[in-house]
Structure 1
Amino acid sequence: MPAQLESSDSESEASVQSESADLIGIHPLPYIRCLIYLVAVLHTKHHASYQECALILKALGFILRRLPGNLLTGDEDDIPKTLTTVFNRLGLGDKFKIHPICHVCYRIFTGDEGTTFCPTCLVEIYRPRGRQLFRRLFGAGLGGDDNEDDLGFNPQRTPNLVQPIQSLADGLREFLARPGMVDAINKWKTRQVDPDELKSIQDGNAWKTVKGPDGRSFFFHGDSGNEIRLGLSMSLDWFSKKTSSYGPSHSSGVLSFSIQNLEDSLR
């Protein structure tokens, strides 16, 4: 028994140390961490734009540097200046890979094959390099950027159209790796059901009658033998070019999946 208590105390101490290291990794100063959390919430919950978040970060950073008491000194004088940096500090970056696509036939390219023209439509996948003619002719002697070639071109070309993609398999793998998600998925099996009320998708006939490959009910409340049986729904939201600030010259759509095993608040 004492050995078990000692082990439990060690695990608890290790957990606290790990949590402290994670917080310091965000920023060593607690009031700067609060600023980072504030900006993240303003964007995710209240839809503050990237520019607005950057303005908040820069303005509050300017104020903190000029307050008495040397609040920011040395290496601690490292306040994020953009929302992208805030997301990176909090580990909130998305898992999508950006693929260039043909703006005529919408064929998807990996971006790694070196293709610049769509072989079907014979149109260019990437925009022309945005350099002025004077730069193109004389850029080599004008002290151009380090990432420009000898003619003053930027080798990083921008696609005409892109498609952010995360495969369903990769998304599920990342989701199931989160602590507590497996238990959350299986929680529906023990929920109390009122036969006279429909409160969730699990109360409907489709959930109760859909068959698996073996001919038996795919979803069941009994022992599943440690199997995770997921019910996925697919949604498609489409935005016209007049309502989407991200696609001013074309419409855009978002294809998403939801795990129906979860409670409504977690889907």
Structure 2
Amino acid sequence: MPISLHSVIKTFELQDQFTVHPGCPSCHRIFQPTIPSSSHCPNCDLPLFTSKGTNIFQKLSGRRPPPPPLKFAVPIAPLSSLLADFFAEGEMESSVDEWQQTPHEPGQYTSPMDGTVPCEVKSHNGSLFFDKASLEEENEIRLVVTFSLDWFNVNNSAFASSHSTGVMLFCISNLRPELRYQTKNLLMPIVLPGPSEPMTEQLQNYLKIIVDDLIKLYEEGVRVKTPTCPEGRCQATQWSLA
């Protein structure tokens, strides 16, 4: 029976969307995946990779040894890349398009989209973000995402009694209520590996990745292929904290 996420993915021949980044287990600084395996954290002077010697078989065969394992692995999948798979399903696209056709009654709050921020927030050009006049393309999609961070601690597990793992999640508020909070429709950009929760200052290293991507989505958008537009539709995003 698979006992880890890696073994589950391998056993069932699944594919994930994450790129694994090296991180410092002390200060939680995150580095690019292409960093040399001999690298140390410049803040803490700790090695980022586990040292691993060359075995006899590798020496005799002349084969290059595999990359050493990371001491602190951080899986990352930016929202801008997750949207491509999200909109590949026709139901998601049609649900978002339905919201754009739904009239908003002032003073009536039946959806997060009825709140003050979605109704009054401005786009990068100064016009109302969700006003049709602000769209740069006729079939452009404007999204509101809510962001949250939660931690999971397996208190009754013998092998992880004190290990806490965190997940950052995006929820697409434009979706119909029955779709909005389904697990399959929640987008996970970063997994915080633990074993303990980072301090507030350390958490900023993860949030910077999230915010930089959100700013790009807000100002430039991203073009993704959808069932009705195989040539691609532009997506722009506005966000709030849950």
Richer in helix (by share): 1
TM over 0.5: yes
SS at match of 2:174: coil
Richer in strand (by share): 2
Q: CA RMSD in A?
A: 4.0
TM-score, L = length of structure 1: 0.51
TM-score, L = length of structure 2: 0.55
Uncovered stretches (5+) of structure 2, i.e. residues with no partner: 181-242
Change (3 A) 1:119 1:83: closer
CA contact (8 A) 1:99 1:164 kept: yes
2:76 aligned with 1:124? no
SS at match of 1:229: strand
Q: Which of 160, 166, 170 in structure 2 is aligned with 1:257?
A: 170
Change (3 A) 1:217 1:245: farther
2:29 aligned with 1:107? yes
Q: How many residues align?
A: 174
Change (3 A) 1:245 1:221: farther
Structure 2 partner of 1:70 = none
2:185 aligned with 1:238? no
Q: Give the superposition deviation at 1:223.
A: 9.9
Q: Which of 84, 87, 92 in structure 2 is aligned with 1:173?
A: 84
Uncovered stretches (5+) of structure 1, i.e. residues with no partner: 1-48, 53-80
2:105 aligned with 1:212? no
Which structure has the larger Rg? 1
CA contact (8 A) 1:241 1:252 kept: no
Aligned 1:25-64 pairs, distance under 5 A:
50-51=2-3
Structure 2 partner of 1:228 = 141
CA deviation digits over 1:138-186, x for unaligned, max 9? x52xxx5xxx4459x9644221111000112212233334445333212
Structure 2 partner of 1:182 = 93
Aligned 1:88-103 pairs, distance under 5 A:
88=14, 93-103=15-25
Whole-Å separation in 1 of the counterparts to 2:147 and 2:179? 16
Change (3 A) 1:176 1:110: same
Whole-Å separation in 2 of the counterparts to 1:119 and 1:261? 42
Whole-Å separation in 2 of the counterparts to 1:199 and 1:109? 42
| Greater RCO (Cα-Cα under 8 Å, separation 6 or more) | 2
> Percent sequence identity over matched residues?
31
Change (3 A) 1:240 1:221: same
SS at match of 1:108: coil
Q: Which of 111, 128, 139 in structure 2 is aligned with 1:200?
A: 111
SS at match of 2:12: helix
